[in-house]
Structure 1
Amino acid sequence: MFKRLATAAVTAVLIAGLGACGSGAEVKENGPDRSVRTGQGSGGATGTPRPHASATADATVFGLRDDIRHRAARTTRATRPRMTKKCTTVTRRVRHSTSSGSGKKRHTRTWYSTEHSRTCKRVRSGTETYTRVVRREQWCVSLDDVDGNARRDDVWYEVSRTTYDAAVGTDRHARLDFTPRHEGC
């Protein structure tokens, strides 16, 4: 728990520090706590928005942080066949012989030994209960003005835990850049 809090704190300090490093020409104020980067970050020097990029694994999106949501994993109890390992030991008698001499003086010596072999296979032995994951854990971030398009508001993205922790450390309507896992959450 402490490690997560420390990571979130360090991330928040880095984001705040990097946000403070921008020059005054790059940041335009749109109210008391809204800031939007213009220039290179929004599609070029003219300030025209970038065309919409689909949320693929390598497409970075940016926008104003709207809301965040953490969806815990949902599990249920289920049953499945219980497979156990059943082994059987088989013994067999093996005949061995050696011969010595030749002609009428030929002598054959015979003896027997027992060889053990073990065979194992998995067999069903009743049922067992286990925890089945119905829905995996998700971290989600909602953006307004996605990729500089003012009409694309309230777009949800599923993100990594690191990106979610960084978004928690920012204010609402702060600019975020990240690569989502996929759109929708």
Structure 2
Amino acid sequence: MFGKRFVVSGVIAILIGTLGACSGGGEGGDDDGIAWEQSDTTSGGDGSGSGSASGQDSAPTAQDSTVHGLKDTVRHVTVKTARATRPRRISKCSTATRRVRHTSGTGTGSRRTTRTWYTSERYRSCTEVRSGTETYRRTVRTEKWCVGLDDVNGDRARDDVWFQVGTTDYGAARTADEHARLEFTPTAEGC
């Protein structure tokens, strides 16, 4: 009984030491400022914040792996559209007739006779034709939610790395303290 408690205590001590080493501080860098939104959080100097993102609506990357690091900043890239024109297509229909063959048989064996006759049926024939042009809104830039991390996956040389995330992860990162340790599954790298 004493031996089991000793082993459990040792494992807990190793886990605490490992987690303490992963939550070291780091200074955040500035980003390029193109269509971005800085989170309105207060500065925390030691990197010990809360705010782990959950990743409930994030799609997995090709590696199907999560990333972790210290929060640098967040960015919401809004959708951008432009007015454009395209050919307008309409349906043009006309009524036409076609000949339909009918048969019926009476009797059996050598006394069987077959009667054949034809009727004309009307039907509607439609085709798509071009008729001028129409205007529409073309998407130039899609909407993205991004989180910038420092010390990505514990590598202190990997700072200012952007990841695209889902709206749930973005909301959690936005409300987290500055330099808080975040972990999420990104939808793509870059922003």
> Normalization by structure 2: what TM-score?
0.60
CA–CA separation in structure 2 for the residues paired with 1:114 and 1:70: 64
Give, in angstroms, the shift of residue 116 of structure 1.
1.0
Aligned with residue 174 of structure 2, among 144, 159, 168: 168
Structure 2 match to 1:15? none
CA gap 1:94/1:181 in 2 versus in 1, 3 angstroms: closer
Separation of aligned partners in 1, 2:153 and 2:171? 21
Q: How does 1:31-46 map to 2 (within 5 A)?
A: 32-35=45-48
Distance 1:94 1:133, change over 3 A: closer
What is the rounded CA distance, in whole Å, between the counterparts of 2:158 and 2:99 in structure 1?
82
Partner Cα distance (1:131, 1:161) in 2? 24
Q: Tell me how far apart the structure 2 counterparts of residues 150 and 138 of structure 1 sit (CA, whole Å).
A: 26
1:144-155 to 2 correspondences below 5 Å: 144-155=150-161
1:37-56 Cα deviation digits (max 9, x unpaired): xxxxxxxxxxxxxxxxxx64
Residue pair 1:87, 1:120 contacting (<8 A) in 2 also: yes
Question: Where does structure 1 differ by over 3 angstroms across 4 or more consecutive aligned residues?
Answer: 23-33, 91-96, 111-114
Identify the residue that residue 189 of structure 2 maps to in structure 1: 183
RMSD of equivalent CA atoms = 3.4
Distance in 1, Cα, partners of 2:71 & 2:62: 19
1:180–1:93 CA distance, 2 compared to 1 (3 A): closer
Percentage of identical aligned residues: 55
| Count of aligned pairs between the two proteins | 137
**Offset of residue 144 of structure 1:** 0.3
Aligned residue in 2 for 1:60: 66
Confirm or deny that 1:143 pairs with 2:143: no
Alignment check: 8 A CA contact 1:85 1:123 kept:
yes
Is residue 79–residue 130 contact of structure 1 (8 Å, CA) maintained in 2? yes
Q: CA deviation at 1:143?
A: 0.3
How much has 1:178 moved relative to structure 2? 0.8
In terms of fraction of residues, the more strand-rich structure is: 1
Q: 1:95 to 1:34 in 2, by over 3 A?
A: closer
Residue of structure 2 aligned with 1:75, choices 71, 81, 84: 81
**Do the aligned partners of 1:57 and 1:179 also contact (CA within 8 Å) in 2?**
no
Q: TM-score scaled by structure 1?
A: 0.62
Asked if 2 retains the 8 angstrom alpha-carbon contact of 1:57 and 1:181, the reply is: no
